[in-house]
Structure 1
Amino acid sequence: MPEPHTLILALVSYLEHDALPAIVLDTDYNILAANAAYRRQFGHNDQAPIGQKCHRVSHHYAMPCDQAGEHCPMRKAWDSKVPERVLHIHHTPRGPEHVDVELRPILDKQGAVVAFVERLTSITLASAQPQQQGLVGRAPAFKSALASLQRAAPAQIPVLLQGESGTGKELFARAIHMGSPRANGPLVVVDCTGLTESLFESELFGYEKGAFTGANQRKIGLAEAAHGGTLFLDEIGEVPLAMQVKLLRLIESGSFRPVGSLRTVHADFRLVSATHKPLKQMVAAGTFREDLYYRISGFPIRLPALRERLEDLPLLAESLLKRMPGKPISTLTEQALAHMRLHPFPGNIRELRNMLERARLFADDGLIRPEHLPEDVAHPPSVSKAFGKAHDLGELAQALEQFKGSRSDLARHLGLSERTLYRRLKALGLGAV
């Protein structure tokens, strides 16, 4: 086997023709080489950062990622000696971006790691900066959901999006569709809420002319309309029990009969479902079919509530304000943002959007201040009740405002470990308190 130096030179030559951006690293985090694709996408003035530490280039960290609270693929690959993959936010010439990082260890003939190859794929399904459309976020809880989305999107596996109402399930479904081989096909959304059994069947499967009173012409069902694309069943937990067996047959065979028809129609689609309901508990209670549950939940993805990703609040607010039509874009003041951080947001991102739409109507100079927010946000209730529970970040911030002891005293008072308290303070932007 060639010596490590010769091996690395051959590797650099090979990677030069790789379509994906790639760099070669030594075992001390130094960048030894970068291919043309990396120089074009991540280099400055088409120059590679040869000799610099990878964590300083990608994250502006003075120490390795694993020592700065990130998951470091190099540390994992060093121990496992197999490829490791992780989703990071990297600094790029275009600003912060989500990047799928794959790190492969290079072994010598004794099996020792002598170098690493890092290949980077920019994720276009979500942004780490304010955007006019699509998913945005940087918080760990959001990145976890995005990493799962990135894995599932290219496959055919049925995806089940689980999360509270208002967490952006349709945006996630759209991102899965756009990241799939079916992106050029249709994305058909079926809202399963409030549909009777007969209405659900006619909407999903369509009907023939004369099938029932008022059926004056043939109608193509949503399942047929999704042929070649993605069928998104939103709030699938609302599907009537009697219809679930027909839905199961559709998913298993891709075939169905329109209402009032003897002909069988075949539709080829990728299935994405979403719900805020506890489907496993519904299966146990007999209100949701077990066989249907296992057919739709091949790849479950949990979407975080807004209170679990409060550090994304400024990014989400700026993005939502950019997306609102009409008058010039409004801006949140720091004081308004501070008040919003104390709010638990039970309605999640949908509630945030409604709050901002209302507030900007009062902001005549384009600056949203606390007095423009709803009463319970502009003037939160007494904070004394926050002591002793602090189940969410809003309550924790209120408790912190009144408590005069040390951080360890506060943790003990709230019945939390110091580590848990630190994580929650960090989510509030108060990690140094």
Structure 2
Amino acid sequence: MPPNAAAITSPPQVQALVSYLEHEAQPMIVLDPAYNILAANTAYRRQFGTADRPFLGQKCYRVSHHYDLPCDQAGEHCPMKRAFELKGLDRVLHIHHTPRGPEHVDVELRPILDADHQVVAYVERLTTVKQASARASQAGLVGRSPAFNTALEAVQRVARSRLPVLLLGESGTGKELFASAVHEASDRHDGPFVVVDCSGLPETLFESELFGHEKGAFTGAQHRKPGLVETASGGTLFLDEIGDVPLAMQVKLLRLIESGTFRRVGATETQQADFRLVAATHKPLQQMVAEGRFRQDLYYRIAAFPIFLPPLRERAGDIPLLVDSFLQRGGKTAQRIVIQPAAMARLQAHDWPGNIRELRNVLERARLFADDGIVRPEDLPEWLNAPLQARPAPAATAATAAAAPDLDEQIRHLAAEGRLSRRDMAARLGLSERTLYRRLKALDLG
């Protein structure tokens, strides 16, 4: 038995479990039904414990969240409550306080049952999410708002599967970063991550770029060239703005996905494809299907696991974190830039129709005016400097309004299947449970 468990009084099966957990590489703890931490394996002590951070005998919610109450009473999802109700495993993405600061942690909680099917303890496995930061960061995804965490949790759930992923949301919401996060969290993370900008490829070049070509296949083809599908072998192929793929190419793309094979332009032999597909668009694909502008069979192939990425106005609490991150990203030799509270207030009051891309551009501009390293309100564009006042909720953009039928149809489909809990359905759709509840009510499905 590990040293941490020496003085713990618990049922024999729990003591045996504690000894077993020492052989696990992932951080794991044992909890009693009253939220007390009974024991922790070496991996947990190394990653989450320090000499001045006692945890044995402490309540898990105090150690991980600094709460005085269990998570569900503090407004969060409590995996212990859910695992008790299910008498089975529950999983949730939380932000935990760690020796390194706040971090996203994938929590998996499993109840231990006695012969009478009563819960005697819980085993909690904790996996730090490396694909996103809950603190200001110089690279990658950054955020900690509920809307951001919901989308990130969906990424963690689907990443290790082989399902195609479809990222939906307005322009500028970070689709490529989320696609990269799917890749990095998958079993293919050591392979290439290949981006195909479908909106930037003319129809005449699309097939050649995607599948490659043989020497002499067309005028100017002076040598054999591998395509992006071939380049992505063993990794992830990210089709950005898939809604812009020409109809003629959609047939060939469907064949690639269904058969896992392709032919270079001008070739006769068939090549085997080996990639994980992630696609993204800001366009309303289901509306395009109804209008005959996007193939229905292709849509259902790529939309096995849709994730809706929230616009910046729905994660306004992340703006200070994003601002700090962008101001850090000036390179090692760049002057450290800070922002005055009044300037931050202007940024938080804006609706950001261009989302994170627009915020980044505003900060890049402001950096050029911050000669002394301080961003002031006058360093921001004039249209951000209107007197601060309460603003009505922004009207839905054209992209949001057009995407609503897609979301409603997905909700109807999942509700009709009846296989998922409301929480799992929300995670599948990339929504908060509260937002899903409102949509279900609006569709008379609640």
Read off the aligned partner of 2:314 and give its amino acid letter. Answer: E
Question: Are residue 29 (structure 1) and residue 30 (structure 2) matched?
Answer: no
Would you say the 8 A contact 1:363–1:372 is kept in 2? yes
Contact 1:372 1:378 in 2 (8 A): no
1:13-28 to structure 2, matched below 5 A, reads: 13-28=19-34
Instruction: State whether residues 4 and 108 of structure 1, in contact with CA within 8 Å, keep that contact through their aligned partners in structure 2.
Output: no
SS at match of 1:199: helix
* Alpha-carbon shift at residue 29 of structure 1 (Å): 1.1
1:154 maps onto 2:163 in alignment: no
Kindly tell me: are residues 47 and 354 of structure 1, through their superposed partners in 2, closer, same or farther at Cα, counting changes over 3 Å?
closer
Question: Any idea what SS the aligned residue of 1:193 has?
Answer: helix
Asked whether the 8 Å contact 2:351–2:394 carries over to 1, the reply is: no
Matched, 1:79 2:100: no
Question: In structure 2, which of residues 37, 41, 50 is the aligned counterpart of residue 44 of structure 1?
Answer: 50
2:329 equivalent to 1:323: yes
In the TM superposition, what whole-angstrom CA distance separates every residue of 1:182-221 from its partner, at most 9, and x where no partner exists?
1111111110004332211111112222222222222211
**By how many angstroms is 1:303 displaced?**
0.8
- Would you say 1:8 and 2:14 are equivalent positions? yes
The match for 2:313 among 294, 298, 307 is 307
Letter in 2 for 1:208: E
Structure-2 separation of matches of 1:169 and 1:145:
11
Stretch of structure 1 that moved more, 192-201 or 311-320: 192-201
d(CA) in 1 for partners of 2:155, 2:305: 9
Spell out, residue by residue over 1:347-376, the C-alpha distance to the aligned partner (whole angstroms, 9 max, x if none): 111001100000010011111111111111
**Which residue is 2:203 aligned to?**
197
Alpha-carbon distance, 1:263 to partner: 2.5
Which structure 2 residues correspond to residues 165-314 of structure 1 after superposition, within 5 A? 165-314=171-320
Moved more, 326-335 or 247-256: 326-335
Deviation at 1:330, TM superposition (A): 1.2
1:52 deviation in Å? Answer: 0.9
Return 150-159 or 7-16, whichever deviates more. Answer: 7-16
Paired residues of 1:40 and 1:46 also in contact (CA < 8 A): no
Aligned equivalent of 2:358, options 351, 354, 359: 351
Deviates more, 1:194-203 or 1:245-254: 194-203
Give the match's secondary structure for 1:164. Answer: coil
TM norm structure 2:
0.83
* More displaced 10-residue stretch of structure 1: 261-270 or 116-125: 261-270
Moved more, 96-105 or 324-333: 324-333
* Residue 332 of structure 1, CA deviation: 1.6
Aligned residues: 389
Cα gap change, 1:330/1:46 in structure 2, threshold over 3 Å: closer, same or farther?
closer
Counterpart for residue 411 of structure 1:
none
For the residues of structure 1 that align with 2:214 and 2:369, how far apart are their CA atoms?
51
Runs of 4+ in structure 1 over 6 Å off: none
**Matches for 1:6-155 after TM superposition, within 5 Å:** 6-45=12-51, 49-155=55-161
Render the CA deviation track for 1:11-70: whole Å, top value 9, x for unaligned. Answer: 222222222111111111111111111111111139751111111100000111111111
- Amino acid of the structure 2 residue aligned with 1:186: P
Unaligned 5+ runs, structure 1: 393-418, 421-433
Q: Distance in 1 between matches of 2:160 and 2:88?
A: 23
Equivalent position of 1:412 in the other structure = none
Matching residue's letter, 1:335 = A
Structure 2: runs of 5+ lacking an equivalent: 1-8, 397-433, 436-446
Q: Determine helix, strand or coil for the equivalent of 1:233.
A: strand
Does the residue aligned with 1:350 lie in a helix, a strand or coil? helix
Identity of counterpart residues, as a percentage? 66
The one-letter amino acid paired with 1:50 is L
Counterparts of 1:381-420 in structure 2, within 5 Å, are 386=391
Asked if 2 retains the 8 angstrom alpha-carbon contact of 1:228 and 1:268, the reply is yes
8 Å contact kept, 2:94–2:104:
yes
Rounded Cα–Cα distance in structure 1 between residues aligned with 2:13 and 2:262: 58
CA distance in 2, matches of 1:206, 1:5: 63
> Residue 359 of structure 1 aligns to a residue in which SS?
helix
Q: Distance in 2 between matches of 1:276 and 1:380?
A: 32
Relative contact order, higher structure (CA 8 A, sep 6+): 2
Per-residue deviation, residues 116-138 of structure 1 (Å, max 9, x unmatched): 11111111111111111111110
Give me the whole-angstrom Cα distance separating, in 2, the residues matched to 1:245 and 1:176: 26
Q: Structure 1, residues 90-110: CA drift from partner, whole Å, max 9, x if none?
A: 000011111111111122222
Q: Aligned letter for 1:268?
A: D
